[in-house]
Amino acid sequence: MAALQNVPAILRQPIKRWRLAFTTIYFSRTLRSLLHDSASNNSIKLPSSTPPFVVLDVNAGADFSNIDQTSLATLVKEKNLDQLLEFGGVEGVAIALRSDVRNGIHGAAKDVAQRQAAFGSNTYPRPPSKNFFHFVVEAFKDLTILVLLVCATLSLCFGIKEHGLKEGWYDGGSILVAVFLVISVSAVSNYRQNKQFDKLSKVSNNILVNVVRNERCQQISIFEVVVGDIVCLRIGDQVPADGLFLDGHSLQVDESSITGESENVEVNASRNPFLFSGTKVADGYGRMVVTAVGMNTTWGQMMSTISRDTNEQTPLQARLNKLTSSIGKIGLTVAFLVLVVLLVRYFTGNTKDENGNTEFNGRKTKSDDVVNAVVGIIASAVSILVMSIPEGLPLAVTLTLAYSMKRMMADQAMVRKLSACETMGSATTICTDKTGTLTLNQMKVTKFWLGKDPIEDSSSIAPNVLKLIQHGVALNTTGTIYRDTTGKLEFSGSPTEKAILSWSVLELGMDMEIVKHNCTILHVEAFNSEKKRSGILMRKKTDNTIHVHWKGAAEMILAMCSSYYDASGRMTDLNAAERMGFEQIIQGMAATSLRCIAFAHKQIPEEEHKTGESGKKIEEDRLTLIGLMGIKDPCRPGVRKAVEECQHAGVNVKMITGDNVFTARAIATECGILKADQNMNSEAVIEGEVFRKYTPKERMEKVDKICVMARSSPFDKLLMIQCLKQKGHVVAVTGDGTNDAPALKEADIGLSMGIQGTEVAKESSDIIILDDNFASVVMVLRWGRCVYNNIQKFIQFQLTVNLAALAINFVAVVSAGEVPLTAVQLLWVNLIMDTLGALALATEQPTKELMEKQPVGQEELLITNIMWRNLLAQVLYQISVLLTLQFKGGSIFGVQDKIKSTLIFNTFVLCQVFNEFNARKLEKKNIFKGIHKNKLFLGVIGITVILQVVMVEFLNKFADTERLDRGQWEACIAIAAMSWPIGLVVKCIPVSKKPFLRYLKW
C-alpha cells in the first residue's frame, strides 16, 4: 500500500472521495497484475498484446520521462482505437498526463515548463527567411544593371591603362559606386519589406485558444498549449494540437487541410475520438485532451516546410508593371537613337576632346582610345535607359503597402492579403454585421416576459417555471461559470451566453453545477447562424423523465409552440389571438433595439423517446413557451459618424443581420444607415427569406435600394454580394462565423472580426478587424484610398523626372552631339528621385480630403487628366530652362562648359526637389498643408539637398562637377523654385472628365 501513497490528486487539492476511491481501485488492480509479470519496466511503451490494463506511473512529483511520447503521438495519427484501449481509454491517457478531465492541468509556470520540456512546445520551425544577401543577388539580376557593370569595368580598365591608377579610375569607378548604391538601396528596401511580412505572419498565426486550467476556462495563445491541456472547441475554432475527444455534442470537423477530403468527419467518444491539429470545427462543440503538439503533429511537420509567399503581386502592381514596361520601351528607343547618333558622330570625326582635338582620326587613333570612347558612349546610352525606366514605381507600391500595413495594425486592422489594401480604396459598398461591429457586443438582459406579463422580480416567477428556466439556461449553453476563491464569478462564452448566464445566476439564483449534476444530456443541436436556435434532449435524474429545451430567435421559437406558461405557472393553449399578442411583445422589444430570445420546453414520454432514439432528432413542434427575454446591446460610440463619413465618401453601407426586422430597423436608424424617410420604406428594409424568394431580375432591380437585411442567413449574404458585384459594385463585407466564409471569399474585400470571428472566417478574409469596430472598417477604407492616392502622387513625380531627362538628353544629342548629364549624374538622379522620392511620397498619411471624393473605379486610368496637366506643365518648363542652359548657359553666366554642365545638373536636381512638394497635392493649391505631420517627407527633402551639395561641392572627380559660387547656387535655386508658382497657376486650369490618352490602358 505504500506505493499508493504516491498516487497524485490529479493536480487538484483537496481530492474528492469518489475520485480517490476510483484511483485506489484502479491502481490496486494494476499493481496486483504486475506481480504476475516477471519483467519490470518503468516505460509505458505499448505491449504487443492487449491486456486489460497498462502501467502508468502518475507520481505527481515526477517528470514525464516514463511516458513514451512517440506512442502517444502515433495513437492519434493512426486513429488506433485498440492502442487507445491499451492506454486505458481517453481518461487513462488524461490520468497518465496528470490532467483532470474536468478541471484541466494545474497550469502553473513550473507545470507548463515541465510539459514543454517533456513533449515540446506547440510551435514549429519556419523555413529560414531570405537574408540580405539574397536581395542583393536579386538586384544584380537586372539586365540594365549588368550592362552598366560591364561598361564600368571596361571603362575602369581602359582608364587605368591610359591615365594610370591615380587618375584613370574616376569614370569607371564612379559608375561602379553609383550602381552599387542603387543595388544597396533596392536590397535594403526589399529586405525590410520581407522582415515586416514575416512579423505580420507571426501575428496572424497567434490564435487564441480556450483551455481549462486549474478549474477555470481561460484564453491562451495557441503557442502556449501543452500536452495534457483540456481544450474547449466551438464552431469555427481551429484544433490547436493533436488530441482525444473527451465530451461534447454533434462535433463535426473539417479535416480537408490534412486529408484533402471535403466531407466533414463526426468526432465522438465511441468510434472516432481523434482530433488533428490544423483542422476546423464545422459544427457542434466539445472538449479534448491534448496528446501531441508542434512538430509531433502532422500539421506541424507540414507547416514547417511551407514558407509565406511575400511575392504576391497586387492588381495595382500589375498595372504599374505594364506602365513601367511602356515607358521602358520609349526609353529604350531614345537610348538606342542616342547610341546610334553618338557612334555615328564619333566615327565620322564630328566629336572633339577637351583640348578641341578630333577624337577619331581613322587608323591614327589608338585601339584603346576607340574602345574607351565606345564604352563611354554605351555607358551614356545605358544610363539614359536606366534613367527612363521608372523602377521607383514598384518600390513606391511596396513602400506604401508596407507602410500602410504597419499603420493599419496600429489602427486595429491586420492585412492578410496585400491586394486588399488597394482594393478597399475602390470599395463602393460595405455590407456589415450588426452585433459587435455596429454595437458594443456588451449584452445585458433588460427585460423578461413570463406569459404576457413583464417580470421585474424573480420572486414573482412560479417555482415550476423557475426550474424550467434554470434547466433551459444551464444545460442549453456553451458558456461556463467559474467562481474563484473569493467568490467572484467569471462568465465565459459568447456575449449572448454570458448575458443570459449572468442574469440567471444573479437574478434567479441559479447554481449551474447543481442543475448539471441533477440532469443528463442525451442529445444536443448546437446553435448556428442558419437555424438561429439551439436545443437539448435531457433526462432528469430525480424522476427519470425526459425533456426537450429550445432557445433561440423569439419569433422562430414562438412558431414552434402550441402553448405557454402564464405568470402563475399554468400551461395555457396558444390560440391565434394569444400568438398575435406575443408577436406584438416581441416587436415592442425589438423596436427599442433589444435582441429577443425565447425559451421553450416539452416533456417527452419514454415510449416516444425510444421510438425516435435512432434518429436522434430533437422534437421541434407542440412546445410550451416558457418566456421571452430582451437583451440590450448598445451602439458603439462614434459609429453614426463613421457611417455618415462612408456615405459622404460615396460608399453605401448595408446592414446584414440575423436579428428580426424590428430590431434591425431600430439599430440601423440609430446608426444612421436608415434615414427618417426610409424607416417605413419596405424596399429599404427586407428579410433574408423575402430576398431569397425574389427572381434574379427582381433581386438585381432592388438590391441597390436595400439598406437593411434582417433575419438573413449566410446564403442570403452571399446572394446579396453576388448581386452587387454583378451590378459593378466593389463590395467589402464583414463576417465572423464559419458560415460567413463563402461570403468573405466572394466579396472583393473580406473583413473578418478579430474578437468574435472564428478561425475559419479569419482564414477566408483579406483583412482582420482586430477590435470588431465599424470605425476600424472606415479606417481601412481611408487607408485603401491613401495607398492609391500616394501611388498617383509618385507616378506624377516620377514621370516628370523621366520625361524631362529623356527629352533633354535626346534633343542635346541630336542637335549638339553631347549628353548634358553624364552616366554618373543620371544614376545619381535615378537614385535620389526613385528611392528617396518613393520614400517621401509613398508614406503620406490619409487626409480628410480622401473621404470627400467618390470611389475610384478599379478600371479607371492610373494617370488622370489632372495628373497629365500637372506633369506636362513641369516637364515643359524644365525642358525649356535646361535646354536654354545647355545652348546659352555659357554666355548667360559667362562660364566654361564644365561649370555650365554642373549648373544644368544642379538645376535639374533642384527642380525635382521643388516639384516633390507640388506632387504632395494633386488638386489642392496649398501644397504645404499638413506637411509638418510628415517628418519623413521633410527628412527626405533635407537629405536630398545635403547629398546634392556634397555631390557638387566635394565629389567633383566622382560626379564630374565643378564647385559653384554663391550667385550660381542662388540662380539654380531661383530657377527651380519657379516650379511652385507654375504648379499653382496650372491647378487653376480646368480639365475635362474625358480621359486623356484613353487609348493607353495603363
Q: Which residues are catalytic?
A: 433
Nearest 10 degrees: Cα torsion 355, 358, 360, 361: -120
For 222-295, list the strands marked E by DSSP: 230-233, 242-254, 265-266, 274-275, 280-292
Asked if 172 and 150 count as a contact pair (C-beta separation under 8 A), the reply is no
- Give SS3 for 594: strand
* DSSP letter assigned to residue 189: H
Asked if 378 and 157 count as a contact pair (C-beta separation under 8 A), the reply is no
Q: Strands of 413-415's sheet, edge to edge?
A: 413-415, 767-769, 749-753, 731-735, 429-432, 652-656, 708-710, 685-687
Q: How many helices and strands, by DSSP H and E, does the chain display?
A: 36, 26
Give the bridge partners for 248, in sequence order: 286
* DSSP letter assigned to residue 265: E
The grid coordinates of residue 743 equal 461570403
Which residue, chain included where needed, has cell 524631362? 804
Tell which residue, 495, 479, 461, 680, has the closest CA to residue 595.
495
User: Alpha carbon 112 to chain centroid distance?
Assistant: 31
Q: Counting every residue, how long is the chain?
A: 1002
Contacts with 373 (C-beta within 8 Å, 6 or more apart), sequence order:
346, 359, 360
CA separation for the pair 907, 898 (Å, rounded): 14
H or E stretch including 994? Answer: none
Give the bridge partners for 635, in sequence order: 439
The grid coordinates of residue 555 equal 419569433
CA separation for the pair 910, 915 (Å, rounded): 8
Asked if 84 and 205 count as a contact pair (C-beta separation under 8 A), the reply is no
Asked if 139 and 186 count as a contact pair (C-beta separation under 8 A), the reply is yes
Phi, psi of 291 (to 5 degrees): -115, -20
Give the bridge partners for 232, in sequence order: 210, 287
Distance separating the N- and C-terminal Cα atoms of the chain? 86
Contacts with 46 (C-beta within 8 Å, 6 or more apart), sequence order:
54, 68, 71, 83, 86, 87
Would the CA dihedral through 212, 218, 222, 226 be positive or negative?
Answer: negative
Phi-psi region of 10 (alpha: psi -120 to 50; beta: other; left: phi over 0): left
Tell which residue, 553, 309, 314, 550, has the closest CA to residue 425.
314
CA separation for the pair 517, 16 (Å, rounded): 15
Query: Cα–Cα–Cα angle for 287, 291, 292, nearest 5°?
Result: 120
